Structure 1
Amino acid sequence: MQPISRRTLLGGGLAATAVAVTGTPLLTACSSGGADTAAANLAVKLPDHRPYQGVQPDLPGTDRVLAGFLKYPAHPVRAIHEKPGDGKPISFLTNIPGAIPPAENRNRFWQAMNDRLGSDLSISMASNDEYPKKFATRIAGGDLPDVLNIPPTTPELPALLKAKCRNLTEQLSGDAVHDYPFLANIPTEYWKGCVFNGGIYGVPVPRGMSRTSLPLYRVDLLAAKGIKNPAPKNFAEFLDLCTAMTEPKRHRWAWTKAPTAYVRQMFGMANQWKRSGDRFTTMYEDEANADALEATRKLVAAGVVNPDAFGDKASARKQWFNGGIAAFDLDSFVAWNQYYAENTAGDAFSVDMLDVPGFDGGLGKPWMGAALNNVTAFSTGSKHSTETLLKLANWMAAPFGTEEYLFRKYGVAGRHYTLHGSDPIPTKVGVVETGIGLQYICDSDLALYYAGRPEVPQRQHRIQQRIADRLVYDASYGLYSETMSRKWTQLTAVLLDVENQIVQGKQPVSAWRPAVKTFLSSGGTAMKSELAKAYAEAAKR
């Protein structure tokens, strides 16, 4: 099973945001009449998986390793001939990872997309940082669009979906999904995160391996130090590598942030939740935390982490990596491509990814990335038919190699990209105008590809093959805990604060154990019990 990681956008702070913004709890009108029922959810027949066979990759994928392409097909297949829209505007609420793009009346990509869809897409968007406030305001006020981007860790998610969104089971369960061939192309595992209240309440935006995070590093910066193909065999060699890449007098450090999660993987710790028999435990309870936090504190004390790391936002850290202020950043395959797209270092810019060694030798255990970026749900108040909205999602899920994918990701030739051979190379206008959040309506599994740089998918495929058999999954994926839904992010935020205090040397490592004890008494123990109960229900079937 694939995990839901802590790196989702909203988390448990959403309910608090709703109260702060509107004075009203998020789910005032969304009583579910009780917790999500595992038995009812397990009775749901998930959508069949029917893989698309229209394009063959250069680098074959597996159930874990993503397929890779060295170039875009010279003659992309036009896979959908009917416009999915019904002629009426369709509204959509979403976050976007980059800058807010030009409005529809000044955005030729957006206009061209509307023409292809057969309906004007009205998008209400906000940056990643601002989306929690916007989402909470719209939900609490009952001002819902036709299509909603809902993060998986939204508090009391089953109640919200049951009260405000359509049950899609009839249209998607089993072979019914075949009416939407590119939704059927999404592997069945991803659909587990869309089942609530005994029904399918959304379509998935899949991530999985593409969100697996390990140290990305600047190949060009390491090469300038005479370091090629770095492969530390243990923590000591890793610290030596970091020290070699740190020059504070030149305003250069090895790391954009303290790599605590990476050090935990060196110890083979759980990916959020671990199951042993019918018992669930969190990563935070592992006795190895003391050693992992001490090791990370040692990295910070050695000065290899940018001293501004504990105060600045993720956007600043990305600028440090691109600008050469830091040589390492703990991030995913999605970020790997984004770094190339936002490159400010010129043609020499080059990125690769470190494997994770065992702390004292051998091999560590990397964590599989979050299964879903978000669940896309359809408002019960929408005037569009469910079939129209599913056709829209199906169009957005057309996979790599199709003409629809080429347009959706790159835009119109000549304005948004230029062709180098068969590869679409984005223009500056293209990067700005195409960033309107279409990938959060629906998307296919990520294809390993970067236009004009075949070495990028080759490196990505190589590291994925290397780590595939050691990936650790979150044992809670597909199981629902009411307490975890409401309290996980709030309680783990407290632990994160203690963690940061320890690695900065402001608190002793001994402060960790009482913090975990408080976590357990404040809701962690209830989460463990609820997950065990949900697992027991699953085991009966």
Structure 2
Amino acid sequence: MTPNAASGPSRRSFLASTAVATAAVAGGVPLLSACGGSDGGSRDGTTSGKDAAKLLPSYVAASVVTPDIPSKNGSAVGFTGKLDLADLKTSVPEKLGKGGRVTVMSPFWGSPPKEDNAYYKAMNDLIGVDVVWQNQDGNTYDQKLGAVLASSEVPDVVVVPGWNMTGKIPSAIIGKFADLGPYLSGDAVKEYPNLAAIPTDAWQRSIFGGKLLGLPMPSSYVSGIVPLYRQDVFEKEGYEVPRSCDEFMAMAKDATNARAKRWACLDMKWTAFNAFGVLSGNEKSLGWNQVDGKLVYRAETDEYLEALEWTRKLFAAGVVHPDAKLGKSNAADPGPKFAAGEFLVYNQDISQWWSRTAEQATQNPGFRIWGMDFFGHDGGAPTLWAQNPASIFAFVNKKASKSVIRDVLAVANVTAAPYGTKEYMATNYGVEGTHYTVKDGVPTKTDQGNIDVMNAYVMVASPAATIAHPDFPEVAKGQVEWQQRTGAVTRKPTFYGMQIVEPARYTNLSNDFEQLEDDIVRGRKKIGDMQQAVSDWRNKGGDKLRDWYRKLLDENGPAAG
């Protein structure tokens, strides 16, 4: 986690301070569960409805700590108060670990700490399990994952991010990992109260091959991408926060002065998709929705083309920063130029709302970043589409003994402890004095903390989505309330929350759309090129893939209510 931050609404925000932030949000990867059929050896499909209900753990809300802002409309819970270490609650009164040894393979971004570091020692003592980390480079994790899962030497626990579930990995998950249902389904989960407090939607995403296999990382289902803007400049210049596409264009033209090195925005394609109500491109299954009895894919819709055309007009009007024109908006850190006022609005992960605030607090005290509400293209309420409520999972080796499985669940029960508990502080901040200090109720990581307390234990399981910034409580409040307003106009598409694997023959079918989108909005290609690409997509398998999803829907029913 980033210093001073306790923001865990998604893996995406966890990764936002790492080199792979863009990888986490870049686009659709096929995910899975299964209920029948086969293609190239993998089991295709999903598990939902009554079949899933039998597998899901009972939900028991956490009562140890009461958030300052409760979850609403799918938002994270929020904490705005200062942190009092003397008042931290205990959510795991007795060690559930039995002293066994558990090996965990997990992606890691940065330089892994020494194996015998104080953080690992303290956590293992707290849990009662000897966890041994096999950290792997997160940027090449898919390669290592494939090799390990194809071998006979699989660690006790393997962490798999959703964006790595490609190729043969989905079928390997079903074949290599243990059914956790006997330990967690129904009331069995109550032995692990912090796991019982994980939202049901996240557990639904943990069903693979008709069994409860994964320990999930819950996230808010509302958009993790926010149109972030310079609130201080808007107020100083008298700009109104736009409530329609026309208002955004008018503001953008007014704010842009190329001679003064100021442009309105970066590439606003993601905001355009939300303004026009385009189905999500975050995962392949979320790009489908049933409309008047027919399954429609996002790229087939008028709204999709309209969003691209509006974004193209922004580029054509010269209001987009030249870096984005060159395609640099996702590759380079936009922070310095945003702070310098070279552009006023950009799309990015919600975690940057806090991180930009924190980095500018001392050097640029007048700087204020805020989240712009999504607007409907015509000025009405937008139609937004839900993201999936979990995107990273930990799995237990199928060959693991019952004692090892229980030790893994003991680890997860500690790492899933809610904010405001001793277990949360230990998991996310380490040892007081060694890894962090607290001044005026604000925990700050030490240099050693930034070395040792990185993405390790948090990868096993986490609590319900949480936002807490004791250093900037107004930001925490703003983030949660933004999610609540966004959630109020967010709908769940037909295949929301399902783990789905598409047949292998369709894996690369839609791979070229994203590059074509970027070419169109930058004027290198035309809308007609996309219409042709969609026609080709249908002929090359899109219509057959639609039939496959229809069969899946007819057999299982929709997951969303």
- Which category of TM-score, normalised to the shorter sequence, fits these structures? 0.7 to 0.9
1:104 maps to 115
Please give the alpha-carbon distance, in whole angstroms, between the structure 1 residues aligned to 2:221 and 2:59: 18
| Contact 2:48-2:557 within 8 A present in 1 as well | no
SS of equivalent to 1:62: coil
415, 425, 431: which one aligns with 2:444: 425
Which one-letter code corresponds to 1:132 in the other structure? D
Q: Cα offset for 1:167?
A: 0.9
Residue from 377, 380, 395 that aligns with 1:359: 377
Which moved further from structure 2: 166-175 or 298-307? 298-307
Cα separation, partners in 2 of 1:372 and 1:144, compared to 1, 3 Å: same
TM-superposed deviation, 1:285 = 0.9
When residues 87 and 196 of structure 1 are mapped into structure 2, their CA distance, relative to the original with a 3 A threshold, is same
Verify the 8 A CA contact 2:386 2:490 in the aligned structure 1.
yes
- Is the alpha carbon distance of 1:427 and 1:328 closer, same or farther for their aligned partners in structure 2, counting shifts above 3 Å? farther
| 2:353 pairs with 1:336 | yes
Cα shift readout 1:379-435 (whole Å, capped 9, x = no counterpart):
124455211111111111001111111221222222332223333233344334311
Q: In the alignment, what sits opposite 1:60?
A: 70
Q: Which residue pairs with 1:379 in the alignment?
A: 397
Cα offset for 1:178? 0.8
| Equivalent position of 2:556 in the other structure | 538
Question: Cα 1:161–1:473, aligned 2, differ >3 Å: closer, same or farther?
Answer: same
Per-residue CA shift, 1:163-211, capped at 9, x if unaligned?
Answer: 1100111111111111111111011111111112221111111112475
Any residues of structure 2 matched to 1:262-273 within 5 Å, and which? Answer: 262-271=271-280, 272-273=287-288
Residues 427-506 of structure 1 mapped to structure 2, 5 A cutoff: 427-479=446-498, 481-483=500-502, 487-488=506-507, 490-506=508-524
Q: Which residue of the other structure, out of 59, 70, 74, is the alignment partner of 1:49?
A: 59
Q: Which runs of 5+ in 1 are unaligned?
A: 15-29
CA distance in 2, matches of 1:129, 1:147: 19
Distance 2:420 2:183 in 1: 27
CA contact (8 A) 2:47 2:556 kept: no
Say whether residues 1:212 and 2:217 are aligned partners: no
Change (3 A) 1:34 1:333: closer
Distance 2:329 2:150 in 1: 27
Q: How many residue pairs are counted as aligned between the two chains?
A: 519
- Indicate yes or no: 2:208 matched with 1:196: yes
Aligned to 1:21: none
- Structure 1 residues 149, 307: CA separation in 2 closer, same or farther (over 3 Å shift)? farther
Equivalences for 1:109-120 in 2 at 5 Å?
109-120=119-130
Residue 284 of structure 1: aligned partner: 299
Letter in 2 for 1:61: S
Percent identity over the alignment is 27
> CA separation in 2, counterparts of 1:485 and 1:400?
41
Counterpart residue identity of residue 386, structure 2 = M
2:333 aligned to which of 300, 308, 317:
317
Q: Contact 2:100–2:404 at 8 Å: present in 1 too?
A: no
Structure 2 counterpart of 1:170: 182
Instruction: Indicate the residue corresponding to 2:237 in structure 1.
Output: 226
**Match for 1:138 among 127, 148, 164?**
148
Deviations 1:21-52 (A, max 9, x none): xxxxxxxxx94566556689446331111001
Q: 1:49 to 1:43 in 2, by over 3 A?
A: closer
SS, match of residue 68 in structure 1: strand
Contact 1:41–1:196 under 8 Å retained in 2:
no
Shift of the 40–539 alpha-carbon distance from structure 1 to 2, 3 Å rule, reads closer
Give 2:413's match in structure 1, choosing from 361, 378, 394: 394
- 1:70 equivalent to 2:87? Answer no
SS at 1:483's partner residue? coil
Contact 2:129 2:407 in 1 (8 A): no
Distance in 2 separating the partners of 1:247 and 1:88 = 64
Q: Separation in 1 of the partners of 2:43 and 2:71?
A: 43
Give the letter for the 2:114 counterpart: A
**Structure 2 unaligned residues grouped into runs of 5+:** 1-9, 13-22, 32-39, 281-286
What secondary structure is seen at the aligned counterpart in 2 of 1:203? strand
Which one is further off, 116-125 or 197-206? Answer: 116-125
Separation of aligned partners in 1, 2:253 and 2:458: 39
1:233 is displaced (CA, Å) by 2.0
Once residues 379 and 210 of structure 2 are traced to their aligned partners in structure 1, the CA distance between those partners, rounded to angstroms, is 46
Over 3 Å counting, the alpha-carbon distance change for 1:495 and 1:540 in structure 2 is closer
SS in 1 for 2:158: strand
Q: 1:125/1:330 Cα in 2 relative to 1: closer, same or farther (>3 Å)?
A: farther
Q: Indicate yes or no: 2:161 matched with 1:151.
A: yes
Q: Which residue of 2 aligns with 1:261?
A: 270
Cα displacement string for residues 84-134 of structure 1 (whole angstroms, at most 9, x for unaligned residues):
4443442222234x53343334x4333332332333433333454332233
Structure 1 residue 457: deviation in Å?
Answer: 1.4
Letter in 2 for 1:207: S
Q: Say if 2:516 is the partner of 1:516.
A: no
Distance 1:530 1:507, change over 3 A: same
TM-score with structure 1 setting the length: 0.85
What per-residue deviation string (whole Å, max 9, x for no partner) do you get for residues 461-492 of structure 1?
3222322220132322244654367745x333
Backbone CA RMSD of aligned residues: 3.4
Given that 1:481 and 1:530 are in contact with CA atoms closer than 8 Å, whether structure 2 keeps it comes out as no
